[in-house]
Structures are given as structure tokens and as C-alpha cells.
Amino acid sequence: MKPCDQNILKAIELSRAMIRLADQGDADREDTGCGILYGVLRDSAYKILKLAEEEKRRHRAKGWWPEHCPMPERFKADFQVRDNQPSEEKKEEGL
């Protein structure tokens, strides 16, 4: 895998981690200032995710992206690979 593709994967995983943090922070917050912070974090994460996914699509179209592209082992320690799933509490609340 090319270094540029590895960086795109890292950006995707970073954005997912940002979304998880925003969800957790929102669930734990005690005032509106924190709500604003986590809202900005979430919005930024989705923008980054959209850009990274689009760049990944462009790389695939150019034939640069391996079809079966698992995350390299050296990145797995830095980022947990998970889909953005709502927490159990949010599922129960219907959010």
C-alpha cells in the first residue's frame, strides 16, 4: 500500500475516533459550552470523513488503491477499526 493511501486510511480512522469522542463527550456533558465543543468536533469529523472517503474513491478510480485493502498492522495500535455505531444509550433513546 502506498504511503498516500495509508494516510487516507489514517484520516478515515481519525475522523471515526473524533465522532466517537464527540458522541461520548455529548453524553457526558454538563453544560452548553461542552455541547458546542462536541458539535463542532462532530461536524469537523464528518467533513474530514467525507473528504477522505472521496479521495479514497479517486485513488480507486486511478487504480492506486488495492481492492482488498486492510489497515496495515502498524496503524492498528493507533486506531481502532470500527464502524461508527451509536452507543447503546443513544440506541435506547432513539438517537
Look at residue 9 and give its three-state secondary structure: helix
User: Per the domain annotation, does 32 fall within a domain?
Assistant: yes
Q: pTM for the whole thing? A: 0.69
> Does residue 36 lie within any of the structural domains?
yes
pLDDT in tens, 24-63: 999 999 999 999 999 999 999 999 999 999 999 999 998 8
Specify the length of the chain in residues: 95
How many domains, the chain? 1
**55-90 pLDDT, tens per residue?**
999 999 988 887 666 555 655 555 554 444 444 444
Residue 80 in domain: no
What confidence category does residue 1 fall into, taking pLDDT thresholds of 50, 70 and 90?
A: confident
Region for residue 29 given its phi and psi (left: phi exceeds 0; alpha: psi -120 to 50; beta: otherwise) = beta
Can you give the pLDDT at residue 87? 46
